[in-house]
Amino acid sequence: MDKSFFKNYYTILAKAIISIDSNLLIKTAGLIRSTSENKKKIILIGNGGSASIASHVAIDLTKAAGCRAITFNEPNLLTCFANDYGYENWVKNALDFYADKGDLAILISSSGSSLNIINGAGKARELGMSVITLSGFSNNNQLRKLGDINLYVESNSYNIVEMTHHIWLVSIVDYIVGKIE
């Protein structure tokens, strides 16, 4: 490989990042703000790398933006609920225990086809929560159809999709705060 690999990689990543309609990011920031102003919480959920994104953004929303945000990344919660309810149902059961009407679920799945995240979206709706989805891969993936706002990356590369999701979410935090740190 030569150094052109990185230039090509960053060009593809940059195209993915700027592909989003900024109005969707502004709308997402508004929904996060209104949820917080209504004294409700933001619950971010993902698998693998998307779980790491959820953790990072939850902390930034809490610390920098003053919004009450949480994740379900505790190993004992994940393993208990996956064991007792099945992996495909652990998110919906966690929401049943921890979410309240008016809360906001931000659900992240690179493929948009993770059953635990899709089932979580259904439970969030049932509980009267707002839903924001982040997905990639197929433009007609199931998760993309389930949110009030659906942020989609047109890519089949996990790393491009995950990095784009991460940058979009962190930029939304900076937008809410009103500055670039």
Digitized pLDDT (tens) for each residue of the chain, 181 residues in all:
688 999 999 999 999 999 999 999 999 999 999 999 999 999 999 999 999 999 999 999 999 999 999 999 999 999 999 999 999 999 999 999 999 999 999 999 999 999 999 999 999 999 999 999 999 999 999 999 999 999 999 999 999 999 999 999 999 999 999 976 6
Residue-level pLDDT at 2: 82
* CATH code (residue 29): 3.40.50.10490
Q: Are 127 and 96 spatial neighbours (Cβ–Cβ below 8 Å)?
A: yes
Residue-level pLDDT at 52: 97
Residues in CB range of 2: below 8 A, 6 or more apart: none
The total number of structural domains that make up the chain: 1
Rounded to 10 degrees, what is the CA torsion of 158, 162, 164, 167? -160
Pairing of β 42-46 and β 130-135: unpaired
- Alpha-carbon distance of 81 to 90, in angstroms, equals 5
Residue-level pLDDT at 35: 98
- Alpha-carbon distance of 124 to 38, in angstroms, equals 17
pTM of the model: 0.96
Residue-level pLDDT at 180: 66
Q: The domain containing residue 155 runs over which residues?
A: 4-177
Residue-level pLDDT at 1: 62
